[in-house]
Structure 1
Amino acid sequence: MRTQPFNRIRNIRVGVPLLALVWLAVTTLPFLFVVATSLKTQDETFSSPVWALPAHLYFGNYAAVLEGPYFTYFRNSVFVVGVSVVLIVIVSAMAAYAFARMRFALNRPLFGLIVAGMIVPLHATLVPIYLLTRNLGLYDTPFALIGPYVALSLPVSIFILTGFMRQIPRELEEAAQLDGCGPFGIFWRVFFPLSGPGLATVAIYNGIGLWNEFIFAYMLTSTSEHRTLPLAVWDFQGQYSSNVPAMLAVVTLTSLPLIVAYAFGQERVIKGMMAGSLKG
């Protein structure tokens, strides 16, 4: 009978690494497939087995991508995502401070309403946002994307930061009040600096999502001068055929900044999400 707990512990020790290896294969193999296919010629892509390695490394696809308007797409993505993330962090931090520390009659109902925004289907907002962007004269500009990106990212960002700020000791807030700080001073000098891990989580989480965003970028822009990286694949798609290796070269180049960013920030993302899920 005593051996049963030991058997369970042994099974857990064996099972968890196996599951981790399976998950590693599931997440890594598709990316390796994309990279390998991007190093093939178009003829080799259709004449060789799908999972076959390239016979010779062909970098012409990457040269074709970089010679096109890739850097214009890259510049637009950096601008749109950068401005959007800064606005998301500032606005969500201010709102989270109000919900976490300020007492007013509609605190809980408003917080519940904002959190409910997380379940609004993205596609339900396409037509209203398109019409609003047209009426404001922002269609086919980088600024057309910033508004929807910020608005749709605020619910989850406020949810994460509110849970994070509720864990900050009230003694620090009281000490700042004794020093003569008002609500904004307390937020800016105490809560904003101490929420660094949560702010980093929000920035990385939203940055990754917005960097890959496709549907709004496709709907609200129409020229390569203002489009972002997810739409660069359209430059290699014709009416009757597609340059698949070149398209996957675009995907590879677009994914590399995200892989690097997430490799350095994954711990903060996990910690921030865990903090946001706790009830203060």
Structure 2
Amino acid sequence: MQTKTVDYKKEKRKSVIAWTIAIIMACFWLVLTLTPFVFMVLNSFRKQFDMLQQGVFHLPDPWYFLNYVEVVTHGFFGYFFRSVIVVAISLVLMLLISAFAAYPLARMKFRFRGIIYAGIVALMSVPMHVTLIPVFKLTTDMGLYDNLFSLIGPYVTFALPMSVFILTAFMMTIPKELEESAEIDGCGRFRNFFSIILPLSKPGLSTLAIYNGVATWNEFAFANTLLQTASHKTLPLALGQFKGEHALDIPIILAVLTLSVLPMIILFIVFQDKLVKGMMAGAVKG
């Protein structure tokens, strides 16, 4: 009895130490990641030269809201809605194609399945921007240069390998008994996919939507290469536009950055639980 008490105290002590270290590391990481965001937001409410006169982490005195008025009245929402269009269409296509590709790889047995899956995994190692020049030439030959829809092809294509890999692993965790029961009731492959597999894959799809949505929202290189006219440019290019007009006005540039990151922060807060569920579900066999 005494030995069990000693072991229990040791385990409890280890647990307390482990939780203490975890909390310290979490607080350290929070400070590390939150500091640039606080710097950006605070200084976006200052006048042009207030950053030189006040501490960059002090509260603005006074709060200067005209930076945001300047940004909004100079075409910010045009950049914003064009980015929304590109991200929305890219995500819908990417999720549909990924689901259609992952389903047979995860639930069916056919010839060359392993080779196809290995090829998809191998494509994950190809750097996206290595293909910048070939994509530019292809886009020009197709007559899509300086067209908003020229971005959708590269965004969807380079998101597919990782998405198919993750979604295949996720679908493998869904019990096969569900499909077998549905087949007894007369459901075919298509009905099983749309009625059983796809609804149960919502956590995985949500994870991919957030992950690829953030990457697409912030993508700069392809947008800068394939778009030229200001009326076609997306939000990541807005920074370059405002930087050219307000080269020495850092608070206005920080205001653009603040407005740019807010949609993704709100999206993450809203779908945070689904993101965690999607990441955890793929690690546990059903």
1:206 equivalent in structure 2 = 212
Computed over aligned residues only, the root mean square deviation of the Cα atoms, in angstroms, reads 2.0
1:54 equivalent in structure 2 = 60
Question: What's the CA shift for 1:4?
Answer: 5.1
Contact 1:40 / 1:54 at 8 angstroms: preserved in 2?
yes
Query: Deviating runs (4+, > 4 A) in structure 1?
Result: 1-6, 277-280
User: 1:141 and 1:59 mapped to 2: Cα distance?
Assistant: 34
SS in 1 for 2:229: coil
User: 2:12 and 2:145 mapped to 1: Cα distance?
Assistant: 64
2:105 to 99, 103, 119: 99
**1:214-238 CA-partner distances (Å, limit 9, x unpaired):** 1111111112211111111122223
The alignment status of 1:216 with 2:222, answered yes or no, reads: yes
The alignment status of 1:263 with 2:269, answered yes or no, reads: yes
SS in 1 for 2:231: coil
Amino acid at match of 1:247: I
1:83 to 89, 104, 107: 89
Question: What's the CA shift for 1:279?
Answer: 7.1
**1:22-46 CA-partner distances (Å, limit 9, x unpaired):** 1111111111100011111111124
The alignment status of 1:153 with 2:159, answered yes or no, reads: yes
What percent of counterpart residues are identical? Answer: 46
Question: What's the CA shift for 1:8?
Answer: 2.6
Higher mean C-alpha displacement, 36-45 vs 91-100: 36-45
SS in 2 for 1:54: coil
User: 2:178 and 2:10 mapped to 1: Cα distance?
Assistant: 49
1:27 equivalent in structure 2 = 33
Question: What's the CA shift for 1:239?
Answer: 8.3
Structure 1 unaligned spans of 5+: none
Question: What's the CA shift for 1:190?
Answer: 1.5
Residue-pair matches, total = 280
**Aligned CA distance change for structure 1 residues 240 and 179 (closer, same or farther; 3 Å):** closer
**1:46-98 CA-partner distances (Å, limit 9, x unpaired):** 44444343221111110010001111111101100000000011000011101
User: 1:225 and 1:239 mapped to 2: Cα distance?
Assistant: 16
Amino acid at match of 2:130: A
Report the TM-score when normalising by structure 2: 0.91
Amino acid at match of 1:69: G
User: 2:247 and 2:30 mapped to 1: Cα distance?
Assistant: 33
The alignment status of 1:186 with 2:169, answered yes or no, reads: no
User: 1:235 and 1:140 mapped to 2: Cα distance?
Assistant: 16
2:51 equivalent in structure 1 = 45
**Aligned CA distance change for structure 1 residues 114 and 200 (closer, same or farther; 3 Å):** same
Q: 5 Å matches for 1:93-132?
A: 93-132=99-138
User: 1:217 and 1:36 mapped to 2: Cα distance?
Assistant: 29
Contact 1:72 / 1:224 at 8 angstroms: preserved in 2?
no
Question: What's the CA shift for 1:114?
Answer: 0.8
User: 2:163 and 2:59 mapped to 1: Cα distance?
Assistant: 42
Higher mean C-alpha displacement, 57-66 vs 172-181: 172-181
Structure 2 unaligned spans of 5+: 1-5
Question: What's the CA shift for 1:6?
Answer: 4.3
Higher mean C-alpha displacement, 50-59 vs 243-252: 50-59
